[in-house]
A and B are shown apart, each in its own frame.
Chain A
């Protein structure tokens, strides 16, 4: 049975941490997104042809959304669990009568909420630069939530694995961001010559960007259900790893 009050306590505390740094948490992605739209949307995008019948400025919105979503969700969640480990306050969590469910729902739920708030802010910001519409808004919200959940879990694992700040930052910086850039954020993989278009299919982020782009414009590089399937599989793997971590106490209990 899940102790919902405990879960709520973790959730609200994590959100209050987010609100404490709201200026930085909100302003940074808004500014970054605005810069992307100015450079890629207005300056370069104006000279680019439409892609799949979508204006280039609008085409990059799902990719930019995914870029911010993956980065922020992973870092929010990893910091959420790493900081208590770093400061020692994790003792309270470990000594409380709560298990993996309460911990995950609390931390991951809060990270997801933050990400959804950021996604909404980015979409509003994008609207200031580009005219766009969302073909499948319901599926878009579901897909964003799914990706946010999966990468919150991933960040949680990262926060438990890392034993210093360098490790905490290295995965998002060296893997997540480059893979997202190469994952079709600013282009369709159809535009890549052989063998790069085939190699690109080994990049998991391609499926995420493509999936979100489909919910926006109804067309994408990869079948939407493949994207959903890969996202769900990633989420399941993360849940499995976290269940193992809690069962063995790896890096949590001495």
Chain B
């Protein structure tokens, strides 16, 4: 197994108010993956990112990035980390190209106009390069923040709520941008409120609640382990009891025997296959039906079930 690009161990942050924002967090990030950190407001997502990026002073624990201990070799580690913050924080009076070039210089790299042009073009900002950031739309400003974060060619990029307040179309555009970054080999850690975003983009998902990581898993494995299929089969004629051919399946009669409800599967497709088998069994037993409604549980369902009221 390859060495983790980021290893967090026992990370704790207690603010001066006494609030424990992070409670002994352990987390490892693999090179090249997209990791989605999910959690309700105030769960500690931004504090976790801040601790890695140097915005927050950890109260305890260790953070190792690229093999460098962030407490000692922070310069070497930070040089390879990029951050796109949640807030649209930019120098609004600065033209786009100069702002991005400044970010590159701030990280100690020599000017490289070709590289800046490439970044701006990839984010559809090249035509806006001479415009002041204040004149851009919200979506464009967020892209400028991404461009600034990419200017020093980071290997690890934090995207803190990259699509917050962005409309559906722009959100999908942002997903395409994240895909491009993944293709370039950038490891991405994103926090998001949109579970569908994590479902769409992430390789692995971590769920944080009240400063503690309560689950980290491959997205597909999590869906397989916790995902469910729910099917409602509307019967042509009501049944008084379950037919013996369905005894092997997790089904029950509902709505006065007019509907069969299946709840099962594991998110890997087993549920759909069983529903298909059930329909064949019904036909074989001469039981007619008039409709089927099948629904796979989403990552959001899993998220809500794990977090309960906090979600």
Residues of A within 8 A of B (CB): 3, 5-6, 8-10, 12-13, 16-17, 20, 87-89, 91-99, 249, 253-254
Contact = CB atoms under 8 A, between A and B. Distances in A.
Nearest to B84: A91
Contacts of B171: none
Contacts of A92: 83, 103, 106, 148
A254 B14 CA distance: 10
A254 B89 contact: no
A254 B57 contact: yes
Interface string B130-161: 00000000000000000010000000000000
Interface string B74-113: 1111110101010101111110001000111111111000
B89 A87 contact: yes
A254 to B, nearest CB: 5
28 contacts: A5-B108, A5-B109, A6-B107, A9-B104, A9-B106, A12-B102, A13-B102, A16-B94, A17-B93, A20-B93, A87-B89, A87-B91, A87-B92, A88-B85, A91-B53, A91-B55, A91-B89, A92-B148, A95-B54, A97-B74, A97-B75, A97-B78, A97-B107, A249-B57, A254-B15, A254-B47, A254-B55, A254-B57
B285 interface: no
A97 B98 CA distance: 20
A107 to B, nearest CB: 12
Contacts of B47: 254
B91 A8 contact: no
Contacts of A94: 53-55
Interface in B153-208: none
B304 interface: no
A99 B108 CA distance: 12
B50 interface: yes
B292 interface: no
Nearest to B79: A97
Contacts of B90: 87, 89
B215 interface: no
B277 interface: no
Contact of B54 (A3, A5, A17, A253): A253
B14 to A, nearest CB: 11
Contacts of A254: 15, 47, 50, 55-57
A87 to B, nearest CB: 6
State the main secondary structure of chain A at its contact with B: helix
A89 B89 contact: yes
Contacts of A87: 89-92
B110 A5 contact: yes
Per CB-CB distance, the 7 closest pairs between chain A and chain B, nearest first, are: A9-B105, A88-B89, A97-B75, A97-B78, A95-B53, A97-B79, A3-B108
A6 B108 contact: yes
A9 B107 CA distance: 9
Interface in B37-65: 47, 50, 53-57
Nearest to A13: B102
Nearest to A1: B75
A89 B109 CA distance: 19
Contacts of A8: 105
A13 B106 CA distance: 10
Nearest to A6: B108
A6 B15 CA distance: 30
A87 B87 CA distance: 9
A17 B87 CA distance: 22
A248 to B, nearest CB: 8
B27 to A, nearest CB: 19
Contacts of A13: 91, 102
Given A6-B108, A9-B102, A254-B57, A95 B78 contact: yes
Nearest to B104: A9
A103 to B, nearest CB: 10
A98 B106 contact: yes
A96 B107 contact: yes
B146 to A, nearest CB: 13
A97 B89 contact: no
